[in-house]
Structure 1
Amino acid sequence: MNAPDLEHLRPRLPSPLEPVEDERFARHGLTLLLKRDDLIHPDLPGNKWRKLALNLRAAGGRPVLTFGGAYSNHLRATAAAGRLLGFRTVGVVRGDELAGRPLNPSLARCAADGMRLLFVDRATYRAKHEPAVLARLLEQVPEDVYVVPEGGSNALAVEGCVALGRELAGTADVAAVACGTGGTLAGLAAGFPGPALGVPVLRGGFLGAEVRALQEAAFGGPRGDWRLDERFHCGGYARTTPELEAFAEAFGARHGLAIERLYVAKLLYGLGVLAEEGAFAPGTRIAAVVTGSPEPQEDSSR
C-alpha cells in the first residue's frame, strides 16, 4: 500500500491570521488576532488537518480506526479524509445507546463518507487505551487497521502541530488554543517562541499530565513555555453559561464568524476575562487559534 498524497487536497497553509477589533482587548492596549485554521480545508479544518496528516502518511493506505463522541469533529475529518483519499475508516463511538437511534448530522456525515461506526458502552470507551480492551475492539474489525487515538492526539499529531507555532512566530507574542485532548497545545508550544496558553473545554485537571506525556512521546521531553487555565470550561465539554452564550452571539454578529461555542467561544471568552484581569501587558499581540468547525454544535452524547 502507498501513503496517500495529502497535497492533492490543496490545503491552505499557512492559514490566515486576521486582526479583530474587540473593546475588551483594545481598552487594555492589546491586539487580538484570529489564526484561521478552520480555513485550511473545508473537510479537514484546523488542528484536524495538522494532527491527521502525519498519521495518514504512517498508515500508508491501510484502513484507519479512531475514536470519538457523537458530535466529534475528529471522526468527521477522518471519514472525510478516507473518502477523499480512498482508504477505509472505522469510528468507535462513545455510547452504545446511540446504536438504536437515528444518526445525528455528524454521524450521518461520517456514514455517508463511508465510515463504519462501532458503538460501545461508556465504560469500554473510557478503557479503550488498555491493551485487552483495544484487542477486543479490533476483533470486530476483520482487517489490519492503523489506530489513531481519540482526537487524533499522539506523537505524530504533536509533530504536525509544531508548524502552527512556527507560523505564528514573529507575528504574535502569545498564542492561545482551546484544548480537548492536549495534542495541539503540545505541538503549538514546541514551535512557538513565546508563551502558549491552553484553555481546556473539559472539566478536570488531567490535561497538564496529558500534554507533558505527549511532548515526551514526540520530543523525548518538555518543549516550549505553556500553561493551562482551567477556569473557562463551564463545567464540561457541552456546558455553557448565559454569559458565554451572549458573548458567542455578539461576537458572531459583529465579526461574521459563527464561532463554535464548544471550543473557540470558550477560548475567546477566557482570553477576554484574562485581558480584563490584566494578565497581558499593554502592547501584547494575542493569537487565538480557530480550530475545527466554526459552526456551533451541541454534544448530546455526554
Structure 2
Amino acid sequence: MQEAFSDETLMNFALGVPLQRIKWPKLEALGIEVIVRRDDLVHTRLSGNKFYKLFYNLQKAVGKTLLSFGGAYSNHIHALAAAGNEYGFNTVGIIRGERPKQLSPTLVDALAWGMRLHFVSRKVYQQKESIAFINQLYDQFGDIYIVPEGGANLLGVKGCQAIVKATESRESFDAICLACGTGSTLAGVASALNPDKKAYGISVLKGYDCLSDDVASFMRRVLISQGREDFVAEKLKLKHKGTEEGCVGIGKQSSPEYQNWEVVSRFHGGGYAKLSDELLTFINRFESHASFVIEPVYTAKLFWAIETMACEGLWSRGTRLVAVHSGGLQGRRGFTMKQLSV
C-alpha cells in the first residue's frame, strides 16, 4: 500500500497532466499566452488539487479510517470518498447541517463509494476543531485519521508542491495562477516555485482578509518541516504590506504582496459558491471558445480574474501564464439547469 503513495508515484501523476494551450481571443489580442494545467484530469476519480492534498495524508493514514468534514457539495468530501473506495480505506464524512430528505449528488456518490455520513448541526460543526469534539469523534468512530476540512494541513501543502515542480520541468512560464479557498494549494505552489516566477492566488471568499496570513503560515511551516529554513526569509519577503498591518478580518483594504506570490481578493463574485449574473455571462462566453468546462465556485473565478487583470495591463505582451484547472466539476451539479448546462 505504501508504494501507492510514494514520491515517485505522485510525480508521475503530476507529470502526466496535460498542459493545454487554449483559444482565448481577448488575451491573444494582448499578446499573452495561457497554458492550462488540466489537473481536473490528474486522476480518473480524484479531481484536481484535492488529489494532491490527499496524497500524503493517505500515505500516513494506511490502516486507519479516514475522517473529514465538509458541506453537501464539498469537493473534498467527494474526493475523500473516492479515495477510500479506490485504495481500500473506510471513510467517514462529518457533514455540515441536518440530514436532508434528499441527498445532494455529491453525497449520493460518497454514500455509493462506502462513506459513512454523519450529519451535525451548523452550531456543532463550528466546534469541529475543538479538543472535546475531536475526542468524541475518536470515541464514536475508533481508530481514525482526521484530515482537516479541504485537506488543509502540512501534508496537503507538501502534495501541492508537485503541481509546480512538474510544470517547471516541462514548460517555461512567467507566472502561475490558481483559485484559493483555504490557501493550502497556493502555499504548496508558491513554496516550490522558482523565485523568478510569481504565483497569483485568486480568493473565492468574500470578507475573509486573513488568507495571505494563512498562506504565509503554511509556507513557513512546510519549509521548516522540509529543512529549508534558509528559504523562509526569501519566500516571505514582502513587496508591500497592504493598507493595514496584520490580519484584521472584514474591512481590510488590501492584502500584503510578497515578492513572488500574492492573494487577489476582488474576484469572489459575491461570495463562496455565489453565481452572479456577471460571472455566469463570463462562464458562457469562456466555454464557447475553450475546449473544456469550468465551475462557478473556483475555476470560473480564476479565469475571470486572469482575463480582467490581463485587460487591466498587469502583464506585458509576450507574458506566458499557467492557469491551474483545479477540477471540482462535480460541484456544477449544485447549480440549476437554468444557471449552467450540467
In 1, the alpha carbon distance for the partners of 2:314 and 2:53 equals 30
Aligned to 2:261, the other structure's residue is in SS state: strand
Alignment correspondent of 1:27: 29
Alignment correspondent of 1:219: 223
Distance 1:281 1:270, change over 3 A: same
Aligned to 1:231, the other structure's residue is in SS state: coil
Q: 1:161-194 CA distances to partner (integer Å, 9 max, x unpaired)?
A: 1111112224221101101111110001112221
Report whether the alignment pairs 1:298 with 2:297: no
The structure whose Rg is larger is 2
Shift of 1:3: 3.8
In 2, the alpha carbon distance for the partners of 1:145 and 1:23 equals 50
**2:312 is matched by which residue type in structure 1?**
E
Structure 1 unaligned regions, length at least 5: none
Report whether the alignment pairs 1:196 with 2:184: no
Alignment correspondent of 1:278: 313
In 2, the alpha carbon distance for the partners of 1:58 and 1:219 equals 19
Alignment correspondent of 2:88: 86
**1:278 is matched by which residue type in structure 2?**
G
Q: Is the 8 A contact 1:48 1:74 kept in 2?
A: yes
**1:289 is matched by which residue type in structure 2?**
V
Alignment correspondent of 1:175: 176
Alignment correspondent of 2:283: 248
- 1:255-270 matches, within 5 Å, as 255-270=290-305
Structure 2 unaligned regions, length at least 5: 225-231, 237-259, 337-342
In 2, the alpha carbon distance for the partners of 1:129 and 1:210 equals 16
Shift of 1:12: 6.2
Distance 1:117 1:297, change over 3 A: same
4+ runs deviating over 3 angstroms: 10-14, 221-224
Q: 1:40-73 CA distances to partner (integer Å, 9 max, x unpaired)?
A: 1121121111111111001123111011111011
Distance 1:129 1:213, change over 3 A: farther
**1:122 is matched by which residue type in structure 2?**
R
Q: Is the 8 A contact 1:238 1:298 kept in 2?
A: no
**1:36 is matched by which residue type in structure 2?**
R
Distance 1:292 1:277, change over 3 A: same
Q: 1:219-274 CA distances to partner (integer Å, 9 max, x unpaired)?
A: 23463721111000112111122121011112223223121111111000011110
Alignment correspondent of 1:154: 153
Q: Is the 8 A contact 2:70 2:150 kept in 1?
A: yes
Distance 1:189 1:83, change over 3 A: same
Alignment correspondent of 2:101: 101
Q: What TM-score does the superposition give when structure 1 sets the normalisation length?
A: 0.91
Q: Is the 8 A contact 2:15 2:167 kept in 1?
A: no
In 2, the alpha carbon distance for the partners of 1:136 and 1:122 equals 17
In 2, the alpha carbon distance for the partners of 1:299 and 1:122 equals 22
Q: Is the 8 A contact 1:3 1:61 kept in 2?
A: no
> Which of 244, 256, 266 is the matching residue for 1:231?
266
In 2, the alpha carbon distance for the partners of 1:212 and 1:237 equals 22
**1:15 is matched by which residue type in structure 2?**
V
Q: What TM-score does the superposition give when structure 2 sets the normalisation length?
A: 0.81
Alignment correspondent of 2:214: 210
Q: Is the 8 A contact 2:14 2:166 kept in 1?
A: no
**1:199 is matched by which residue type in structure 2?**
I
In 1, the alpha carbon distance for the partners of 2:3 and 2:120 equals 29
Q: Is the 8 A contact 1:261 1:297 kept in 2?
A: no
Q: 1:106-145 CA distances to partner (integer Å, 9 max, x unpaired)?
A: 001001101111111222222312222322333331x110
In 2, the alpha carbon distance for the partners of 1:18 and 1:289 equals 10
Q: Is the 8 A contact 2:41 2:47 kept in 1?
A: yes
Alignment correspondent of 1:115: 115
